[in-house]
Amino acid sequence: MSDTKKLWTNEWVEHEGLKIIPPKPEDKGAEKVSLTKEQVELMEAVNDGATIFGYKDAKLLREVQKQEPTFITIIDNLDELARIEGKRYKGNEQLPYFGAVITEKGQDFVKEFFSKTY
C-alpha cells in the first residue's frame, strides 16, 4: 500500500477563501521545536489573526515561520490582506509588514508550551 503525498509548491493557492503560499509540510514535532517565550507569547497574541505593523513582531513571527512553517499562516499580499480586513491601504500611511494567523497546530503548541512552563 503506497502513501502518496502532495508535493509542496511555492505558488499561490486558494485556502479557505484566501490566496496564500502554503507552508512547507515539515513536521518537526512540538518537542523538537525551540521557540522562545517571547515568540510563543506573540503567537498567542495573534491567535485569531492580526495585522503586523511593528518590525520586532514581524521579525519574531518570521523566525517562528522559519523554524516551524506549519504553526503560522502569513499573508504577504497587501491586496489580499486589505480584502480580508475590509480596509484599503494607501501609500501615504504606514503599511503593515503582513497579516498573520496561528494555525491549529500552532495553537496546540502554544497550549502545550504554557502547560509545561507554568
Q: pLDDT tens digits for the chain (118 residues)?
A: 344 444 444 555 565 666 565 555 555 444 567 899 999 999 999 998 999 999 999 999 999 999 999 999 999 988 888 888 888 877 788 899 999 999 999 999 999 988 886 6
Which pLDDT value is given to residue 68? 92
Which pLDDT value is given to residue 60? 96
CA distance 55 to 98: 11
Question: Which residue bears the cell 479557505?
Answer: 16
Residue 101 near residue 110, CB atoms below 8 Å: no
Q: For the chain, what is the total number of helices (H) and then of strands (E)?
A: 4, 5
Q: Which domains does the chain have, with CATH numbers?
A: 25-117 (1.10.10)
First to last CA, the chain: 44
Phi, psi of 97 (to 5 degrees): -70, -45
